[in-house]
């Protein structure tokens, strides 16, 4: 991307993000009824989108070519394991990332 | 000042998280070759951790503004829900309202939504300080990371996994909130499973560079399709 293209992308992403934040206040000023389908989507889109983002992050992992996604699999398991064990947000992120860095730099 | 001293303790857990993620974000941007002022700017203007991490990859790949904007909409869609929940609380906050809405991050929402504001404390100032401190931690962390990235002597290969780990942890936290029982496990977690399943299917069908938009369309359609049965199930359980 050129600098100009980066600036355009940046501006669009910022605009979209700000829009999602202000939209409910603009559409539903105090007192106006919120349609049930909007409330429903607000609730279920979050969990679904984070599923999408996990897949997005791992989209370039190839099972066919070495190292067959093994470092990613181990790091994901460490992240999940630490979360289930400690019920904490930061520790699994730090532990999973460190595991991945060590695996890539030392073994793969 | 009273509102500040009352809101600060509630933001301490946010501080550890934001500083850690902010520094990592700054480092990542720096190691991807972006100018060192960019992390500070994105942190302050976009101020949505997940979208900013995604920006590192989006800016490094080929120009695709439509896809980038669609992603921002989907990632930000949960703010719609925060907005609906905060509507009555952020009412009558005067000039601060604009800033409060602009800075509703996941964590700020969680603190402000759940807070019991002591009597005698002006609520608009309480919300303001929570929002301001949280933003300060995030922007400060990103700036630190970008600044110290230049002096870094260790190998940062693999650091980008922090984004994967962050989304996994958020997904797990969401999973937990939707119930942890084993029986009926699939029915409790239909949104999560739709998200994972639909995007995996689209990844296989469309390949890694083109699967985001089809995935979003499929996720939206699937969520709307299961709305009736899901809501009926909830009613049955409550009855």
Query: Do residues A43 and A17 share a domain?
Result: yes
Which chain B residue lies closest to A84 (C-alpha atoms)? Answer: B172
Which chain A residues have a beta carbon less than 8 Å from that of B231? 40
H or E element: which one contains A61?
none
Prediction pTM value: 0.81
Class of residue A100 by CB neighbours under 10 A (exposed 0-12, middle 13-18, buried 19+): buried
User: How far is residue A50's CA from residue B32's CA, in Å, rounded to a whole number?
Assistant: 24
Average pLDDT, chain B: 87
Q: How far is B232 from chain A (nearest CA, A)?
A: 13
Query: Do residues A34 and A23 share a domain?
Result: yes
Note the pLDDT tens digit of each residue in B146-196: 988 777 777 778 888 888 898 899 899 888 888 877 777 777 899 999 999
- Give the one of B157, B189, B219 whose C-beta lies nearest to A105's C-beta: B157
Tokens of B152: 């870094």
- Give the one of B51, B101, B215 whose C-beta lies nearest to A22's C-beta: B101
- Return the domain boundaries, chain B: 2-149, 178-238
How many residues are given for chain B?
239
* Count of CB pairs separated by less than 8 Å, A with B: 250
Question: B37 near A6, Cβ under 8 Å?
Answer: no
Task: Return the ∠ at Cα A53 (arms to B206 and A45), rounded to 5°.
Answer: 100
- Give the pLDDT of chain A (108 residues) as one tens digit per residue: 888 999 999 999 999 999 999 998 888 876 678 788 888 887 888 889 889 989 988 988 988 888 889 999 999 999 999 999 998 888 998 999 999 999 999 987
DSSP B121: S
| Local structure of B180: helix, strand or coil | coil
Q: Output Rg (C-alpha) for chain A, integer angstroms.
A: 20
Neighbours of B157 (CB within 10 A): 11
Among residues B217, B38, B185, B131, which one has the least CA distance to residue A14? Answer: B38
The number of folded domains in chain A is: 2
Write the ipTM.
Answer: 0.88
């Amino acid at each position: 991307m050129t600098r100009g293209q980066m600036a355009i992308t940046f501006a669009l992403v910022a605009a979209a993000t700000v829009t999602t934040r202000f939209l409910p206040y603009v559409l539903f000023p105090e007192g106006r009824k919120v349609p049930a389908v909007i409330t429903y989507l607000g609730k279920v889109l979050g969990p679904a989108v984070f599923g999408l983002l996990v897949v997005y992050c791992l989209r370039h992992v190839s099972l066919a070519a070495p190292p067959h996604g093994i470092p990613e699999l181990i790091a994901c398991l460490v992240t999940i394991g630490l979360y289930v064990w400690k019920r904490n947000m930061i520790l699994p992120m730090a532990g999973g990332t460190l595991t991945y860095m060590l695996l890539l730099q030392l073994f793969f | 000042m009273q509102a500040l001293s009352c809101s600060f303790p509630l933001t301490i857990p946010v501080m550890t998280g934001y500083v850690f993620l902010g520094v990592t974000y700054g480092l990542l941007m720096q190691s991807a070759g972006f100018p060192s002022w960019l992390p500070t700017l994105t942190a302050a203007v976009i101020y949505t951790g997940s979208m900013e991490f995604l920006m590192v990859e989006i800016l490094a790949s080929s120009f695709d503004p439509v896809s980038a904007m669609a992603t921002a909409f989907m990632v930000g869609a949960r703010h719609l829900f925060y907005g609906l929940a905060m509507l009555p609380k952020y009412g009558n906050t005067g000039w601060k309202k604009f800033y409060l809405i602009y800075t509703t991050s996941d964590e700020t929402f969680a603190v402000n939504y759940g807070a019991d504001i002591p009597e005698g404390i002006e609520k608009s100032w309480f919300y303001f300080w929570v929002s301001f401190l949280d933003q300060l931690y995030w922007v400060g962390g990103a700036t630190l990371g970008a600044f110290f990235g230049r002096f870094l002597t260790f190998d940062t290969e693999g650091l980008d996994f922090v984004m994967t780990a962050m989304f996994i942890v958020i997904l797990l936290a969401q999973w937990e909130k939707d119930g942890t029982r084993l029986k009926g496990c699939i029915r409790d977690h239909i949104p999560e499973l739709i998200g994972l399943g639909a995007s995996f299917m689209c990844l296989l069908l469309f390949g890694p560079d083109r699967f985001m938009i089809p995935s979003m369309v499929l996720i939206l359609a699937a969520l709307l399709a299961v709305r009736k049965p899901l809501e009926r199930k909830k009613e049955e359980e409550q009855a």
